[in-house]
Structure formats: C-alpha cells, structure tokens
Amino acid sequence: MSRGRPKKFNNDQALHDAMLVFWRHGYRGTALDDITAALNINKPSLYAAFGGKEELFLQVIDHYRAHILAPIAKPLSECNNLKDGLRQYFRDIAKIVMGKETPPGCLVACMLAEECCQTESIKAKLAGAIAESDRFFCRVFEKHKDELNPQITPEAAAVLLVSTLHGLSIRARAGASQESIESGASAFLRVALKQP
Amino acid sequence: MSRGRPKKFNNDQALHDAMLVFWRHGYRGTALDDITAALNINKPSLYAAFGGKEELFLQVIDHYRAHILAPIAKPLSECNNLKDGLRQYFRDIAKIVMGKETPPGCLVACMLAEECCQTESIKAKLAGAIAESDRFFCRVFEKHKDELNPQITPEAAAVLLVSTLHGLSIRARAGASQESIESGASAFLRVALKQP
DNA sequence: TTAAATTTGTACCAATCAGTATAAAAACCC
DNA sequence: GGGTTTTTATACTGATTGGTACAAATTTAA
C-alpha cells in the first residue's frame, strides 16, 4: 500500500455514480455538489481524482461506452444470425433506454444534443462515439449482408440504425411507453432486413 | 395607439430571436442576459412580455412548431405522392437541421434530451409535440398506405420516421456531413416505402 | 517516535444566475 | 400643461455555480 492517508472511495465506482448523475440531470443540469453528495466525498477529492467538471465528464463518457454499451454490443458482434442478434440487442438497449434501472435515454445522444454546441472537447468526444458506433454496425451489416434489405448499403443501414436508436432514446426520455419504443425498434427490423 | 410609452420591440420577432438563442445554446446553457443582449432589450421588458425563463421557453417551443416545423409539413400533408412528398420534406428538414441558416439540430429533440428530466412543464410540452408529430405522420401514412412497405403499419412507420429524424438531427448537431444525413434519410425512404 | 506523503474536511472565493425594486422616459387624455 | 398610463433603463438581491486554500487526519518509511 502506498504512503499517506488511504482513499475513501474507489475511482471506478465513483465514475459510475457520477455517470448516473450526469445521465439523469444532464451536463449543465448537474452541479458538482450533486456529484460530491451522491459519492459522499468532498470537492477537493473529486478534483484530485478526475480534474474539473469537463475532464470528469469526458471520463464518464468513456466509462459509459465501456461498461454500458460495450457489453450489449459484444453478443451482436459474435452472433451468427443478424435478425436474432439485433432482436436481442434491441431488447437490451430498450431495457437501458427505458430507464428502469438506469436514467432514461442514451447518455451519448442526450449529452450530445445538450452540450455539443458549447464545449468543443465534449463535442469531439461524443462525435467520436457516434462515428465508432457507425463503424461497428457497418461491420455487423457487412458480415451479414445476405440478411440485409438489398435496397440499402451496410453504411446507410448503420447510420439509419444508430439514428433510430438515438431518436427512440429521446422518445423514452419524454416518457414514452415500452410498446412505443418496441414498435419503433421492430419496425426497423421489419423494413431494414431482407424478408424471407 | 394605446396610452403609455411605446414598445421598443415586436413580441413575435423577440420570440423568434429568443428561439435562436435557446436553439443554439440549450435551455440551461442560455442565460437570460444572453437573450436580452440578443434582443437589445432589458430584463424587466422580457419579464413583462413573456414571464420568466420557463414561460418564455414554452412560448418559444410553440413559435418553433408554428413557424419552423408547420410550414414544411404543410406540403407533405397535401401531396398526392408519398415518395415525392417525403423526399421534399426530408430536403427541407435537412436544410434546417444542418444549421446553415439556423442553429443545428431540431429544437424539440435537443431540448427534450436536455431538459425533460428536470422541468415537468417542459417535458409535457415537448412530449406533446412528439405525440402530435406521430399523429401527423400517421395520418400521412394512412392516406398513402398503398405506397407504404406492407411490413409495417402507419403507426409504426410514424414512430420510426420521427425517431429517425430526431436521431439524424442529433447527428447533425455533432457536425455530421450533409451526405451522412442524406444517406440516413434516403435509407429510410428506400426501406419504409414499397418498392416498385 | 519522528518525518514525509497523501487524502480528507471545512471554509471560502469570484463569477454568474434568475428575478425584482425603483425611478426616469415617453406616449395619450383632459 | 398636468395627470395618467405604460415601457424602459439602471441597479440591485439572494442563491448557486465551478473551483481552491489550508489545515487536520491518517497512513508508511526511517
């Protein structure tokens, strides 16, 4: 163990809890005092561990992608059947986005809408996250091109899918019903995939 | 002319300019001083004309729907051919959402993502705006059901369309290229409409 | 036991926020 | 012109914001 007074909190857990606060209240809507209260730590500890509000938020985005998005994307990237893979993926996304266990909506989509015209570093990080989502789904659709509606390319299908999910996530934030979200997701499946 | 010192500004023009400020900087990101500076008026005048920040914003949303969204929706509701009608509608939406003449993104979608978990009145107003968009497109798809991909109902098509547009609008806010936006929109057209 | 290192807790700062009190200014009516 | 009405302009308030100074607390190394 290192010298000095021991840390009271775990950095990863703190990042997770800070994520939940930003997720629910937005970037501007979150005061640093809200975060220190949720983590039960003091502001100097927060600054020592993560830097200021902006730096903390950038790390929260990384945490979100690594711990929320990546785990449900993995099965899709490994599936043998696009239709079933996407169906499961949509179920998982819906569970997150509906906000029963987590705050509603997609953190990337919501914070992008809110803050990207204000802080360049945040805009860059979130735009990068979208670009990587595009590339991910593009690879998935390339791999299962035989199941894709031949009217669209994998690139266009990826943009359409990511945009649909972001739009549905905003809808969920407005308090939309589970059925409404699922009807949008299943509509995508029915039109974007080749019908047997 | 009424008694008293004459007003320096026009209420509708002021609402329009206030809309542009909120649109670009978000609800929390906009200070009332930003608005009074843009309108070249003083705070007491703003309060007398529109009430506080929240009431002003609610009126801005109405203004946006009446003066930005409604004019481009009208041709679609009157068109005889869904494909051409939607194509033109997407062109008009893209022009707005790309933010060349106005701030980027869709005001309803962006403010919903930002603020709906904070202020109940704003959430209600924006959720109502989405519900009415759903109903509008549902009517359009009902009317042109013969042109719709038979895999989906008009209701589901409406949810999918509105969600896609909201998602694309967020993407535009991240600085996406015109091609990227158009590829998403045209992908929707190719899969959601019955192919000849 | 003492010194060095590191974190915590309290208290504070300057800036900014939404909102308001008050009086001057500018019009109309008589 | 005097009185009334309405809007404008200045200046202010109390609350909240992100960020920091500083000392007490708690550990390891010697």
Over the stretch A33-63, which tens digit does the pLDDT of each residue have?
999 999 999 999 999 999 999 999 999 999 9
Q: How far is the CA of B44 from the C1' of C16 (A)?
A: 18
- Number of helical H runs and strand E runs in chain B: 10, 0
How close does chain B come to A2, measured CA to CA in Å?
42
The mean pLDDT of chain B is: 97
Looking at residue B145, the DSSP 8-state letter turns out to be G
Q: How far is the CA of A50 from the C1' of C3 (A)?
A: 29
Over the stretch A66-75, which tens digit does the pLDDT of each residue have?
999 999 999 9
Over the stretch B65-105, which tens digit does the pLDDT of each residue have?
999 999 999 999 999 999 999 999 999 999 999 999 999 99
Closest CA to B24 of B38, B10, B12: B38
Helix B107-115 / helix A154-173 crossing angle, nearest 10 deg: 50
Cβ neighbours of A158 in B, within 8 Å: none
Cα(A25)–Cα(A23) distance, integer angstroms: 6
Over the stretch A81-125, which tens digit does the pLDDT of each residue have?
999 999 999 999 999 999 999 999 999 999 999 998 999 999 999
Entry pTM: 0.96
Instruction: Give A152 or A1, the one with higher predicted confidence.
Output: A152
Residues belonging to chain A = 196
Confidence bin at A1 (pLDDT 50/70/90): low
For residue A195, pLDDT over 90 is answered with no
B174 with A117: Cβ contact below 8 A: no
Q: Are the C-beta atoms of residues A138 and A76 closer than 8 Å to each other?
A: no
Which residues face B193 on adjacent strands? B148
A164 with B163: Cβ contact below 8 A: yes
Over the stretch B17-39, which tens digit does the pLDDT of each residue have?
999 999 999 999 999 999 999 99
Cα(A137)–Cα(A160) distance, integer angstroms: 10
Which range among A148-152, B1-5, B96-100, B177-181 shows the weakest confidence by mean pLDDT? B1-5
- A-to-B residue pairs, Cβ atoms closer than 8 angstroms: 179
Q: Superfamily for B11-192?
A: Tetracycline Repressor, domain 2 (1.10.357.10)
**In chain B, where the domains are located:** 11-192
Cα(B188)–Cα(B182) distance, integer angstroms: 10
For residue A3, pLDDT over 70 is answered with yes
**What is the residue type of A48?**
A
